[in-house]
């Protein structure tokens, strides 16, 4: 019997140091139909795809420069994850991640622990819902001064990692998601269920090792390259299909923009009419790019990947559990196909019967009898996708489950509000945090704050300053990438330091005496 699943709150508490406290706010929208993530091969129908958006923010109560604690919390971290689901593949795309610079420096990094735990929680839920489906976490690492918090780049305490540091940081964020028993499975001769991939356009395989986290032993967990051919097989698409059918199209993705330009060259951009030959449009092939290797080579000369810039593409593939063999998956697929065919036969027979009968049969309703049982009032649909103008604003209590569920419009409004605020200083960041929290509270229809209080429980060495420290005097490195200078008391001392600066005796030259003296 499977054990009860740990809540996100407990997972975060276990991942954070015992002297760290924060507030977490989790928003997500229900899955809805969306455009296909992959282009279909020629003659095939597009994959039915659903999209769910997830956003997690963390805030702390900092201290001012005078040492007094502020009464209002300040957002310090945010991450947005888009989950694309198809029949055979689930993709977790890290859309945005950013910090404000008001998180005091601490080791181990709270930002790294929060993001790792959040991604692990989302992927575990997807694997539990669809045990026979392959799950992959995908992201691209590109350094930028700000993504989610406008004005935070003006905060002098915000440390923005460069491209190479950011790629290494994301690899370290994903690496703890590998389960400990995965190495044991490899030692027993089983295939690994987890595997990481890194691709940097313009880099050879040997050069990519510098970005990979160190491995404790056994087979390396990270590989140079990409899993796109493997993911194509999971989607029931031939691995030799045109590269445009193997590459996903994520929002604000450098390779997606390149794919769009290649589509324009052969007239496959929407319904536009071009002078390209009809054969190229029909086959779904690009003129200059014939395989994935050539695509990544050409990416090196794109604006995002040239002029000294580096963009890293990372994947973490989670394969189905070993207990679910190919035979079980085939049996499940055959049962689904039989069920679908039976349903289609039933529906076709019903359609023929309805079309044959011109006058519909009117059935007489039976009179109701028995006691009348009143029903409790409830919200239609059970979702909290309410707007600020709703009559139910302030009548609902915060949910007891994980996160606040908002509809498509409510979630978009919450994210739009965040992107219009100002986090350039501690005062404006505090006011912006209050503004965003109150607006989302109104959108969700709650009357009180819906944040989760997180108190770390991990007993880890090297945990430094707590969240109560002065946030304006520390540097937020988003993951412990800053090398701090050693303090004077930490340096080895061989002799007592004199009160004044005195050169060594070997460096003193005596002035020769004159002959007259």
H or E element, residue 114: helix 110-129
pLDDT at site 11:
95
pLDDT at site 448:
85
Q: Is 266 exposed, middle or buried (0-12, 13-18, 19+ CB in 10 A)?
A: buried
Tell me: pLDDT of 476 over 90: no
CA angle 411, 416, 418 (to 5 degrees): 100
Q: With both helix axes pointing from N to C terminus, report the angle between 408-418 and 426-444 in degrees, rounded to the nearest 10.
A: 170
Mean of the per-residue pLDDT values of the chain: 77
pLDDT at site 303:
79
Alpha-carbon distance of 299 to 510, in angstroms, equals: 67
What's the rounded mean pLDDT across residues 192-197? Answer: 89
pLDDT at site 32:
95
Per mean pLDDT, which range of 46-50, 115-119, 347-351, 365-369 is the poorest?
347-351
What's the rounded mean pLDDT across residues 162-190? Answer: 80
Of the candidates 16, 174, 18, 173, which has an alpha carbon nearest to the alpha carbon of residue 110?
A: 16
Strand ranges, E, within 146-295: 194-199, 222-224
pLDDT at site 219:
76
Q: Is the dihedral of CA 213, 217, 221, 222 positive or negative?
A: positive
pLDDT at site 31:
94
pLDDT above 70 as % of the chain? 67
Of the candidates 117, 90, 95, which has an alpha carbon nearest to the alpha carbon of residue 24?
A: 117
What's the rounded mean pLDDT across residues 317-340? Answer: 55
pLDDT at site 282:
52
- Give exposure, 438-457, as e/b (b: 16+ Cβ within 10 Å): ebbbbbbbbeeebbbebebe
Model confidence band, residue 64 (pLDDT cutoffs 50, 70, 90):
low
Tokens 């992201």 -> residue: 139
pLDDT at site 9:
93
pLDDT at site 457:
92
Active site residues: 253
What's the rounded mean pLDDT across residues 304-326? Answer: 81
Model confidence band, residue 283 (pLDDT cutoffs 50, 70, 90):
low
Tokens 């794919």 -> residue: 259
What's the rounded mean pLDDT across residues 22-46? Answer: 93
Alpha-carbon distance of 358 to 433, in angstroms, equals: 63
CA angle 177, 149, 121 (to 5 degrees): 20
Model confidence band, residue 159 (pLDDT cutoffs 50, 70, 90):
confident
pLDDT at site 216:
59
Alpha-carbon distance of 101 to 110, in angstroms, equals: 13
What's the rounded mean pLDDT across residues 303-317? Answer: 88
Q: Is the dihedral of CA 389, 390, 396, 397 positive or negative?
A: negative
Whether the link from the prior residue into 108 is cis, omega within 30° of 0, is: yes
pLDDT at site 481:
39
Tell me: pLDDT of 483 over 90: no
Tell me: pLDDT of 403 over 70: yes
Q: What is the pTM of this model?
A: 0.74
Tell me: pLDDT of 179 over 80: yes
pLDDT at site 127:
94
């Amino acid at each position: 019997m499977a054990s009860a699943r740990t809540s996100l709150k407990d997972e975060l508490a276990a991942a954070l140091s015992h002297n760290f406290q924060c507030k977490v706010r989790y928003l997500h929208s229900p899955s809805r139909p969306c455009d296909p993530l992959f282009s279909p091969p020629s003659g095939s129908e597009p994959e039915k795809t659903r999209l769910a958006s997830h956003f997690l923010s963390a805030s702390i109560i900092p201290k001012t420069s005078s040492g007094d604690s502020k009464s209002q919390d300040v957002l310090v971290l945010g991450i947005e994850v888009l989950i694309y689901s198809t029949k055979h593949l689930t993709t977790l795309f890290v859309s945005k991640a950013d910090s404000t610079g008001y998180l005091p420096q601490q080791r181990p990094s709270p930002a790294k622990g929060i993001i790792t735990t959040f991604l692990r929680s989302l992927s575990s839920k997807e694997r539990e819902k669809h045990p026979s489906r392959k799950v992959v976490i995908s992201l691209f690492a590109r350094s930028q001064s700000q993504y989610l918090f406008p004005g935070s780049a003006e905060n002098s305490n915000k440390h923005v990692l460069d491209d190479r540091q950011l790629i290494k940081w994301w690899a370290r964020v994903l690496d703890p998601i590998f389960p400990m028993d995965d190495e044991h499975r490899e030692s027993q001769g089983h295939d690994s269920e987890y595997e990481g991939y890194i691709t940097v356009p313009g880099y050879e395989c040997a050069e990519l090792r510098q970005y990979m986290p160190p491995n404790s032993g056994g087979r390396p967990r990270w590989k140079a390259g990409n899993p796109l051919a493997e993911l194509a097989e999971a989607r029931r698409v031939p691995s030799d299909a045109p590269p445009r059918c193997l590459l996903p199209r994520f929002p604000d993705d450098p390779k997606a923009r390149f794919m769009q330009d290649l589509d324009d060259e052969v007239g496959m951009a929407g319904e536009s009419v071009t002078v390209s030959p009809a054969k190229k449009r029909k086959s779904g092939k690009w003129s200059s790019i014939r395989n994935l290797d050539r695509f990544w080579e050409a990416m090196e000369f794109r604006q995002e990947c040239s002029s000294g810039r580096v963009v890293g593409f990372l994947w973490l593939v989670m394969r189905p559990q070993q207990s679910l063999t190919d035979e079980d998956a085939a049996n499940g697929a055959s049962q689904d196909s039989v069920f679908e065919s039976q349903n289609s036969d039933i529906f076709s027979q019903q359609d023929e019967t309805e079309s044959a009968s011109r006058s519909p049969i009117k059935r007489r309703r039976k009179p109701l009898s028995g006691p009348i049982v009143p029903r409790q009032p409830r919200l239609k649909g059970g979702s909290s996708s309410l707007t600020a103008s709703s009559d139910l604003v302030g009548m609902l209590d915060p949910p007891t489950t994980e996160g606040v569920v908002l509809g498509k419009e409510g979630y978009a409004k919450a994210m739009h509000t965040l992107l219009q605020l100002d986090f350039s200083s501690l005062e404006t960041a505090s006011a912006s945090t209050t503004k965003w929290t109150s607006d989302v509270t109104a959108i969700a229809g709650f009357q009180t704050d819906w944040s989760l209080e997180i108190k770390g429980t991990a007993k880890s060495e090297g945990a430094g300053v707590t969240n109560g420290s002065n946030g304006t005097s520390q540097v937020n490195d988003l993951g412990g990438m800053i090398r701090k200078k050693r303090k004077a008391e930490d340096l080895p001392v061989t002799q007592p330091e004199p009160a004044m600066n005195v050169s060594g005796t070997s460096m003193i030259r005596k002035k020769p005496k004159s002959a007259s003296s």
